[in-house]
Each structure stands twice: as C-alpha cells, then as structure tokens.
Amino acid sequence: MTNQVVLELNKLTTGKNLGKIGVAFIVDTYSRMVLRVLKKGTAKVGCRGVKVNSIYYDSDEFTKSDLETQVPVFYDPLNTGIVYCFVREQWVVAILREL
C-alpha cells in the first residue's frame, strides 16, 4: 500500500491522473482519513534524515541539495515506520532509521 499511496499522491499533486479514478479516489480517501500533517506542516531535512515527532526517517531520495530545506510531511499514525515527504516536486517515502 505504501508505494500505491506515493504514486497516487504524486498523481494527485501534479494533476497527472492516468485514468485510474477509482484507485485515486480510494487512496485519496484513505489519505484524507488516515494520514496526518505535522502541526508546523513541514520538517527540515538534516544529515540524519527528516525528524518527525522526535523520530528520524531517511530516504534514498534525499540528496545533499535537500539538506536544511523544509519539506511538507504526512505521517500515518497507524504506521510509525514510514512518513511521506514532498521533495523536488514529488512525494517520496522515508523509512524509520535503525536505532
């Protein structure tokens, strides 16, 4: 479901709906019902990843140019292992860093 949510968030954000209205509606409804936005709305990408609710998440999509930038973040309170970050005009999955 994680990859599907990211794909649909990207489609809905960029306006590129590929004709999968039903799937987009389901994922959009799921996202609106479950995913939460941070109180600030954004989080800063640092050298250890993005910090959300005192937990660091990392993604292969983060590059050096993303460091110290504020990015919009959605998190799923039912799955604290992942967050969704809007980086370089697309939604990416950031995974909980190992402790």
Specify the pLDDT at position 25: 47
- pLDDT average, residue stretch 17-46: 64
Specify the pLDDT at position 14: 53
pLDDT tier at 1, thresholds 50, 70, 90: low
Distance CA 35, CA 54 (A): 18
**Domain span at residue 14?**
2-96
Number of domains in the chain: 1
Specify the pLDDT at position 96: 93
Residue 80 has pLDDT above 60, yes or no: yes
Distance CA 77, CA 75 (A): 6
Q: What is the pLDDT of residues 81-99, one digit of tens each?
A: 988 888 888 888 899 987 6
Answer positive or negative: Cα dihedral of 7, 8, 11, 12. negative
- pLDDT average, residue stretch 22-37: 59
Distance CA 67, CA 62 (A): 8
